[in-house]
């Protein structure tokens, strides 16, 4: 028997997803245009904020919605695919909101190869308002495009629930910076909890769930539970990669300058370093971690290199890949296992 393969998006479909962005933006603006109030003062700014913060990423999350839908429904109509693109863009808009906020909290300099939004001279603290603007824009888009669909309420509820999970994760992540005793606080168990909430739910689980809800599989509890488990595993791996790239990535490729060391983050690299350190190295790590001084940051980076954390990461990456593939192969037949393998492959050994 020939193994079934996952359905991918055609180039035309990817193009349609891309062009849906300007259509959505126009629809939003048009909705405000007829107002007698001088709303253009705000909508002009909104267009600027959206164009700067939404369409310039990898669009991994956004594309995952139509990819998932295509693998659950054999012959989708053009209109159904358009809905999947819209749901994809809603996640990209939420992601834009999260990134604007995250960069303020992490005191970052660059994102997606350009200065962080809050760093622009004419933005500054306005960026706080813009995170609310972007987040609520996603709901506006849902209302405009999805409100007549039978799954509208389901999508709304799940989006609210997962956004709140992400916010709770971010709360845990930021609290770690103030730990009195980082050696005691930064455990692998704690790391797993933070990552599950701040990253995995909205990055990996939400796009697949959207595709499944559209396909009428949103209330199939048994399948949803299995999918949640797999996608959270992939999400954990995704954040470990993000932590690795924060120190070892090429800034020209990642588009961002790492901040985890000076921000004293509960990072996967720090936890690995503690496990491999001798007493002297540990003292050095603790003396230099969490200080925004170039020399101290470099000292920690050198220590990570001396401890050969790149090799530890490569080994982790190969093992986790095999473990997840094994789990995928044990999924019940009513789930398209090849889809999950393809999603995992999309991020395997990623450089950005
Ligand atoms: C990634 O962590 C997590 C997020 C971007 C979620 C933020 C959520 C909010 C509710 C604001 P990270 O800080 O490692 O991301 P990056 O490396 O991209 O800065
Ligand atoms: Mg952060
Ligand atoms: Mg990071």
- Integer Cα distance of 206 and 155 in angstroms: 10
Compute, in angstroms, the gap from residue 106 CA to the centroid of ligand 1. Answer: 8
The distance in angstroms from the start CA to the end CA of the chain is: 37
Average pLDDT, stretch 95-121? 98
Report the pLDDT value the prediction gives residue 34, as an integer from 0 to 100.
Answer: 80
Average pLDDT, stretch 36-65? 95
- Kindly calculate the radius of gyration of the chain based on its CA atoms and give it in whole angstroms: 21
- Integer Cα distance of 208 and 203 in angstroms: 9
CA 204, 229, 233, 342 torsion: positive or negative? negative
Report the pLDDT value the prediction gives residue 176, as an integer from 0 to 100.
Answer: 87
Where are the strands (E) in 226-340, listed by range?
none
The number of the ligand 1 atom at minimal distance from the alpha carbon of 260 is: 14
Q: Which ligand is nearest to the CA of 168?
A: 1
Q: With cut-offs at 50, 70 and 90, classify the pLDDT of residue 1.
A: low
Which two structure tokens, joined as six digits, stand for 164? 């709140």
Report the pLDDT value the prediction gives residue 3, as an integer from 0 to 100.
Answer: 57
- Integer Cα distance of 335 and 333 in angstroms: 5
Give the three-class secondary structure for 85: helix
Compute, in angstroms, the gap from residue 264 CA to the centroid of ligand 1. Answer: 14
Compute, in angstroms, the gap from residue 102 CA to the centroid of ligand 1. Answer: 5
Report the pLDDT value the prediction gives residue 2, as an integer from 0 to 100.
Answer: 55
Q: Which of 138, 161, 170 to mutate to test the pocket of ligand 1 (most atoms within 8 A of CB)?
A: 170
Average pLDDT, stretch 148-175? 98
Report the pLDDT value the prediction gives residue 36, as an integer from 0 to 100.
Answer: 81
Q: With cut-offs at 50, 70 and 90, classify the pLDDT of residue 177.
A: confident
User: Phi and psi of 110, rounded to 5°?
Assistant: -130, 160
CA 301, 285, 106, 316 torsion: positive or negative? positive
Question: Quick check: 193 pLDDT over 90?
Answer: yes
Average pLDDT, stretch 319-329? 98
- Residue-by-residue DSSP string for 11-74: HHHHHHHHHHHHHHHHHHHHHHHT-SS-THHHHHHHHHHHHHHSTTS--HHHHHHHHHHHHH-S
Report the pLDDT value the prediction gives residue 94, as an integer from 0 to 100.
Answer: 98
Q: Which of 60, 61, 102 to mutate to test the pocket of ligand 1 (most atoms within 8 A of CB)?
A: 102
Give 138-149 pLDDT, tens digit per residue: 999 999 999 999
- Integer Cα distance of 19 and 32 in angstroms: 21
- Integer Cα distance of 16 and 10 in angstroms: 10
Question: Quick check: 350 pLDDT over 90?
Answer: yes
User: Residue 318 CB: number of other CB atoms within 10 A?
Assistant: 12
Q: Which ligand is nearest to the CA of 173?
A: 2
> Can you give the pTM of this predicted structure?
0.97
Average pLDDT, stretch 5-16? 95
- Integer Cα distance of 24 and 141 in angstroms: 7
Q: Has the ipTM of the complex gone over 0.90?
A: yes
Average pLDDT, stretch 228-255? 98
Q: With cut-offs at 50, 70 and 90, classify the pLDDT of residue 108.
A: very high
Q: With cut-offs at 50, 70 and 90, classify the pLDDT of residue 4.
A: low
Write the burial class of residue 291 (CB in 10 Å: 0-12 exposed, 13-18 middle, 19+ buried).
middle
Q: With cut-offs at 50, 70 and 90, classify the pLDDT of residue 35.
A: confident
């Amino acid at each position: 028997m020939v193994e079934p393969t996952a359905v991918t998006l055609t180039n035309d479909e990817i193009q349609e997803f891309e062009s849906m962005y300007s259509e959505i933006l126009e629809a939003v603006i048009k909705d405000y245009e007829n107002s007698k109030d001088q709303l253009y003062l705000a909508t002009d700014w909104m267009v600027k904020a959206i164009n700067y913060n939404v369409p310039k990423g990898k669009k991994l999350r956004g594309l995952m919605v139509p990819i998932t839908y295509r693998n659950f429904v054999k012959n989708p109509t053009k209109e159904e695919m358009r809905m999947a693109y819209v749901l994809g863009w809603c996640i990209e808009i939420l992601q834009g909101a999260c990134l604007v906020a995250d960069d303020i909290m992490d005191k970052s300099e660059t994102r997606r190869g350009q200065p962080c939004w809050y760093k622009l001279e004419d933005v500054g603290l306005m960026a706080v308002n813009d995170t609310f603007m972007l987040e609520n824009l996603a709901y506006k888009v849902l209302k405009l495009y999805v409100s007549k669909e039978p799954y509208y309420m389901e999508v709304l509820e799940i989006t609210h629930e997962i956004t709140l999970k992400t916010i709770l994760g971010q709360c845990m992540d930021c609290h770690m910076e103030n730990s009195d005793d980082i050696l005691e606080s930064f455990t692998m168990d704690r790391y797993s909890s933070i990552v599950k909430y701040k990253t995995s739910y909205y990055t990996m689980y939400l796009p697949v769930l959207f595709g499944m809800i559209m396909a009428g599989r949103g209330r199939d509890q048994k399948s949803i539970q299995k999918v949640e488990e797999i996608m959270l595993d992939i999400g954990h791996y995704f954040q470990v990669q993000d932590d690795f790239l924060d120190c070892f990535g090429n800034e020209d490729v990642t588009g961002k300058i790492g901040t985890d060391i000076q921000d004293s983050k509960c990072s996967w690299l720090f936890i690995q370093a503690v496990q491999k350190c001798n007493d002297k190295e540990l003292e050095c790590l603790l003396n230099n971690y969490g200080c925004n001084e170039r020399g101290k940051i470099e000292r920690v980076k050198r220590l990570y290199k001396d401890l050969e954390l790149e090799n530890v990461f490569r080994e982790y990456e190969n093992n986790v890949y095999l473990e997840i593939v094994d789990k995928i192969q044990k999924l019940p037949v009513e789930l398209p296992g090849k889809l999950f393998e393809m999603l995992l492959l999309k991020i395997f050994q990623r450089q950005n």
